[in-house]
Amino acid sequence: MSPKSFLLSEELHDYLVAHGSAPDEVLSELIADTAALGPVARMQIAPEQAALLTILTRMVDARRAVEVGTFTGASALAIARGLGPEGRLLCCDVSEEWTAIARRAWARAGVADRIELRIAPAADTLGALPPEPTLDLAFIDADKGGYRSYWDELVPRMRPGGVLLVDNTLWSGRVLDPDDPDPDTIAIRSFNDHVAADDRVEAVLLPISDGLTLCLRR
């Protein structure tokens, strides 16, 4: 299993995964199905991120969760597994093709009834949510240029003590290169500055996989 982290060797990543909650049969099959898609498979979260998402979802006793960017469904599967019996996850994505793979995995795992998938621009879906702060957990892993708008829609809707997670915030280390002209690099760097200055949350940027920002709503 190749590591998604640019900070770890393949051997150290294998050790890390082996000494945590390992992927079960459903997640392992989903990883393989996604790998068969080719280079785009790099958009899938790492196994250790999936384990972390499930643990955090349980720790905050999440009942209402939102995901922006579902791809083939590994992160949604992880969050759904951490939800309580009455918990529900709203997934935002624009691809019928990739999320069809996700739906099959959710069904195999027995969590499909906990997940609502909306195929539409995420900004529209989030903007239509009730404005009250009722969300327990949110995960952003979508188009980098949209990160700030998704953040600004989600933060006011998070309850105090709610958790927000944002993927790819180290961007393979390219956030350190001020001369990198890539629009995604510029967007991630700007987003990270925005989060660091946002006094509505407590935040830590963790060197997990490609960078994972973990925030607690004040």
Whole-number pLDDT of residue 7: 87
Domain chopping of the chain, boundaries = 10-217
CA distance 107 to 137: 22
Per-residue model confidence as pLDDT tens for the chain (218 residues): 556 788 899 899 999 989 999 899 999 999 999 999 999 999 999 999 999 999 999 999 999 999 999 999 999 999 999 998 899 999 999 999 999 999 999 999 999 999 999 999 999 999 999 999 999 999 999 999 999 999 999 999 999 999 999 999 999 999 999 999 999 999 999 999 999 999 999 999 999 999 999 999 99
pTM above 0.85, yes or no: yes
Q: How many CB atoms lie within 10 A of CB 116?
A: 11
The 10 Å CB-count burial string (b at 16+, else e) for 34-56 is beebeeebebbbbbbbbbbbbeb
**CATH code at 10-217:** 3.40.50.150
